[in-house]
Chains A and B, each alone.
Chain A
């Protein structure tokens, strides 16, 4: 594939548009979903079903004044929101939505996405440090320790999948699972009986990596005001939110590709991008559902879950898969 400048620009524009639309309407879906769970209607005044709420919120955010608190580190303060958003957009470039739809397929796609994902922690650290606000600093310390401890089990489960496929190419991983749901990596018969558990571990880790409830200790409103983005208003705040929702979409896409067969149809018919979208939006709906079900954990509970439960189990599954691959 020849990568001309035009190709790159088109790909990036599409990725930004996709991320922005997703962010706007996932906020809407989140608010409506939360409201339904709490037996309220949610935003329903602006437009049918409140569908005009996201653009109006966007206008509100964009017309606000950008404020930098006195004593803040100006450069870090301004860089942080961009750094939250940019890696998420870059990750979209490697994701194959179907056999033909991928901006730029890379052989090391899994690695690229994890590399970009780990930059998100940096954005949070910069935001917390640059704001010169003790709550922000506390929040970013928490968020970084959380990201570090959840990246390990996430990577281990990803390695398990990569081992069974023998490739880090996201497209190849999807292709290897085509032909009906019994070929998907989540189902145990083929490689290792612990694969469903690996899937759950990966899913939990992607919740934690995106700082979603019940793991949203980085923005624990009840104790840390608004966490690392306390001092941000206007579009700085908007970028953090777009970054968060773009990361959710990335997490769901990655889970779909690694465990749920990518764009493959469960019954072996009509493979295509719609199956991929259906799967990621189902996963995102589960994200929202989980957020409005569980209360926030404590930082100890969070770290214990990772180090005492997720890491040992995912390591065990890695060894088991390696052994089974050797035997068969």
Chain B
């Protein structure tokens, strides 16, 4: 009999404690981000699609060594190069420069092998996550063009 009443009292007390908690939560500020209107800064380790890094002059740091293209397990990267003649220490030398850097993001697994394998620090992950489209072609990125757009 004593157990009966103490159980009721204990139960009622725990219900009141629970209601106290929700009452306090009610007056606290909201913590949600109103997504389309507000966005949050992505953390440093966030992996978006890859992006070229520019040097001081705004040109890609990439030397077209092709390591990223070879390292990619999914074969998403297609490189293109042209050779130009530049003067170094009074001598005319041939130099390859990047003319095309295409990323097929539909196949990319964000493994990071390309970034790992670049010895020239020319690749990084972008913080872009607003990627939604109904067309496959929208995920074939021309990274060179994107770099130019960023420079502009």
- Could you list which residues of chain A lie within 8 angstroms of chain B, going by C-beta atoms? 33, 35-41, 289-290, 292-294, 309
**A312 nearest CB neighbor, chain B only:** B4
Bound-state CA distance A38–B29 (Å) is 10
| A41-B34, A309-B8 known; A293 vs B19 contact (CB < 8 Å) | yes
Tell whether B129 is near chain A: CB-to-CB under 8 Å: no
Q: Say yes or no: A290 contacts B29, CB within 8 Å.
A: no
**Among candidates B19, B23, B25, residue contacting A39 with C-beta atoms closer than 8 Å:** B25
| A37-B25, A309-B8 known; A289 vs B19 contact (CB < 8 Å) | yes
**Among candidates A37, A41, A294, A309, residue contacting B15 with C-beta atoms closer than 8 Å:** A294
Q: Which residues of A contact B19 (CB under 8 A)?
A: 289-290, 293
Bound-state CA distance A221–B22 (Å) is 22
Kindly provide the distance from the CB of A228 to the nearest chain B CB, expressed in whole angstroms.
27
Q: Say yes or no: A39 contacts B31, CB within 8 Å.
A: yes
Q: Say yes or no: B22 contacts A289, CB within 8 Å.
A: yes
Kindly provide the distance from the CB of A285 to the nearest chain B CB, expressed in whole angstroms.
10
Q: Which residues of B contact A289 (CB under 8 A)?
A: 19, 22-23, 26
Per the 8 Å Cβ criterion, residues 1-49 of B in contact with A are 8, 15, 18-19, 21-23, 25-32, 34
Q: Size of chain B's interface in residues, with CB distance under 8 A?
A: 16
Q: Say yes or no: B32 contacts A39, CB within 8 Å.
A: yes
Q: Say yes or no: A36 contacts B26, CB within 8 Å.
A: yes
Bound-state CA distance A38–B15 (Å) is 18
Q: Say yes or no: A37 contacts B30, CB within 8 Å.
A: no
Q: Which residues of B contact A36 (CB under 8 A)?
A: 25-27, 30
Q: Say yes or no: B32 contacts A41, CB within 8 Å.
A: yes
Bound-state CA distance A35–B22 (Å) is 11
Bound-state CA distance A35–B34 (Å) is 13
**Among candidates B8, B18, B31, B32, residue contacting A293 with C-beta atoms closer than 8 Å:** B18
Q: Which residues of A contact B8 (CB under 8 A)?
A: 309
